[in-house]
Amino acid sequence: MATTLDEIRENFSLLDDWEDRYRYVIELGKELEPLAEGDYSEDNKVRGCVSQVWLKPQLSGDKVDPVLTFLGDSDALIVKGLIAILHATYSGKRVSEVLSIDPEAIFNELNLREHLTPQRSNGLRSMVERLGKIARDARA
């Protein structure tokens, strides 16, 4: 079963130093459901990331406000963990809810921005933008 955002928040609050949080983020990434071999495609590749990142979205349910789910992977352990946090934040939510999420508030609450390199922060932003575009396109 996937970790929820509330569980991530709670676990972050129990970990005092960033090195422990960093290890926890990596552990979250190890729990991701793997992508199928064919999902490592150019269509699923996220641009703007230093690491290689793939997000495979799926929309289901009604056409007006479908549910967004996605699988993701990266060749970098910490990035896989960031994908797991994004999964807990966005996957399984209706598109209208996805579009109302303030990812910056969540990242600030977890102090992610101040502990990521500028390149990782840019990659995280690229992943968020990709998920937002998928949600906006679904509403069009």
Give pLDDT, residue 48.
Answer: 87
Q: pLDDT by residue (tens digit) across 85-114?
A: 999 999 999 999 999 999 999 988 998 878
Whole-number pLDDT of residue 20: 94
- Find the domain containing 40 and state its range: 5-139
- Reference 78, options 14, 132, 10, 124; nearest CA is 124
What is the token pair recorded at 72?
Answer: 């993701």
pLDDT at 1 over 60: no
Helix, strand, coil % in the chain, rounded to nearest 5: 55, 15, 30
Signed CA dihedral, 17, 20, 23, 24: sign only: negative
* 92 phi-psi bin (left φ>0, alpha ψ -120 to 50, beta other): left
Query: Is residue 111 among the annotated active site residues?
Result: no
Q: What is the mean pLDDT of residues 64-80?
A: 95
CATH (domain of 87) = 3.90.1010.10
pLDDT at 63: 87
Q: From the candidates 8, 25, 46, 49, which is the catalytic residue?
A: 49
Number of structural domains the chain divides into: 1
- The structure's pTM equals 0.94
Residue 49 confidence (pLDDT): 82
Q: In the predicted model, is pLDDT for residue 38 greater than 80?
A: yes
